[in-house]
Amino acid sequence: MPLYISPPPSNPFTRVLMALAGLLVLIGSFMLGMVALVVALSLGLLAGIVVWLRLAWIRRKLKKEGVSAFTAQAGVRSADGDALEAEYTVVESRRDP
């Protein structure tokens, strides 16, 4: 036999009233959770839009300056935009056995 701190009410009217109160608490909790979810999704969507707009603005600014995305990322600007010229020294060459 289970032990209760306070036994369930024996009056059927009280049982129905407590069931309705429990149902209202569950519905309220669900609605509060939905509001929190909508707020979190809205903030995430707003942050994504802000980041997207910032990147689009930077890309437009770079395109206006004539810098491609690759050269801007590498920090190198070429004269014609097609080829990069550089000097290098071979430190170690591969030997085929």
Find tokens 């990322």 and name the residue: 73
| Alpha carbon distances (Å) from 12 to 15, 16, 26, 31, 82 | 5, 6, 21, 29, 85
How many CB atoms within 10 Å of residue 19? 10
Work out the number of other CB atoms within 10 angstroms of the CB of residue 87.
4
Per-residue pLDDT of 77-89, as tens digits, reads 555 556 667 788 8
Task: Report whether pLDDT(20) > 90.
Answer: yes
Q: Is the pLDDT of residue 8 over 60?
A: yes
Q: What angle do CA 22, 23, 28 make, to 5 degrees?
A: 100
pTM: 0.53
pLDDT tens per residue, range 30-76: 999 999 999 999 999 999 999 999 999 988 888 887 766 555 555 55
Query: Which residue ranges make up each domain of the chain?
Result: 12-72
